[in-house]
Amino acid sequence: MSRGPAQDDARLFGRERIGDLRLAVWELAWLLGRGYAEGSALKLVGDRHALLARQRRAVLRSTCTDAAIDHRRNRRLRPEALAGRALAIDGFNQLIAVEVALSGGVLLRGRDGVLRDMAGVHGSYERSEQTLAAATAIGERLEALGLGPVVWWLDRPVSNSGRLRAILLELAEQRGWAWEVELAADPDRVLIASEVAVASGDAWILDEAQVHFDLADATIASACPGAWMLDLEVLEDPRA
């Protein structure tokens, strides 16, 4: 399978819709920052801009409050601070983002500056045409940054997680990379409790982890600089 763009993505996320999407992100963040419930706030903003379901999902995934931005920035590691550090990777989260980039799918740059995809895992993971290339690109970026040792955490309940574990371990053995790959019933909780740096784009993990690094972003910038990036990092009212 491919993790490339959905059928209508060129229309939903084309240049003519960027203005509406950026304004929607700003408005949703304004509402959330003032205590509005997420569901009702998203409906209000989505209806105002006539957004379809996939556009609303992109807006929601890209939005956080100003307080969350400050909190996440304070815990975000810069590349020059990474050499010699151990890293725990939110496996599906980071791998799929790179697969999407290599497949030409749409990526989101959210208000917090973190890179996210539109794919995600919903109970199952199917190896894509880009899985091995994505894992290799991540490994090469880890090596270039001097990170290690590295532990990948995968969701045990997700189907084919065991097969992905085998792929990652085989690749690491071939390349001489010091990787461990663990399966956990709830890896998110493992990651937020970790005492080492965490690589993830998941909002909850970014809010709770001690320190984090946007590994997917660093990998894509190196391996796929022409990736389709939707810039929704809206920090001020775009109408101003």
Q: CA 118, CA 113: separation in Å to the nearest integer?
A: 16
In the chain, the percentage of residues whose pLDDT exceeds 70 is 98
Is pLDDT above 90 for 1? no
Q: CA 11, CA 16: separation in Å to the nearest integer?
A: 8
Specify the DSSP class assigned to residue 79. G
Is pLDDT above 80 for 6? yes
- Asked if residue 101 lies in contact with residue 3, where contact means CB atoms within 8 angstroms, the answer is no
Q: Which two tokens stand for residue 128?
A: 């894509």
Q: CA 173, CA 220: separation in Å to the nearest integer?
A: 23
- Asked if residue 178 lies in contact with residue 149, where contact means CB atoms within 8 angstroms, the answer is yes
Greater pLDDT, 79 or 139:
139
Taking domain 77-109+117-230, whether its CATH number is 3.40.50 is answered by: yes
pLDDT value for 118 = 87
Out of 115-119, 124-128, 152-156, 213-217, least confident range: 124-128
Other C-beta atoms closer than 10 Å to the C-beta of 49 total 16
* Mean pLDDT (the chain, rounded): 95
Specify the DSSP class assigned to residue 77. P
Chain centroid offset of residue 135 CA: 15
In the block, tokens 């569901």 appear at: 39
Out of 125-134, 167-176, 195-204, least confident range: 125-134
Q: Rounded mean pLDDT of 167-180?
A: 97
Residue 39's pLDDT band (boundaries 50, 70, 90)? very high
The pTM for the full model equals 0.95
Residue 220's pLDDT band (boundaries 50, 70, 90)? very high
Domain spans of the chain, in order of start = 77-109+117-230
Q: CA 119, CA 74: separation in Å to the nearest integer?
A: 28
Handedness of CA 136, 171, 156, 193 (dihedral sign): negative
Torsion angles phi and psi, residue 50, rounded to 5 = 55, 45
- pLDDT tens-digit series, residues 107-138: 999 999 999 998 766 677 888 889 999 999 99
Q: CA 123, CA 152: separation in Å to the nearest integer?
A: 18
Is pLDDT above 90 for 149? yes
91-103 and 161-175 helices, crossing angle to 10°: 80
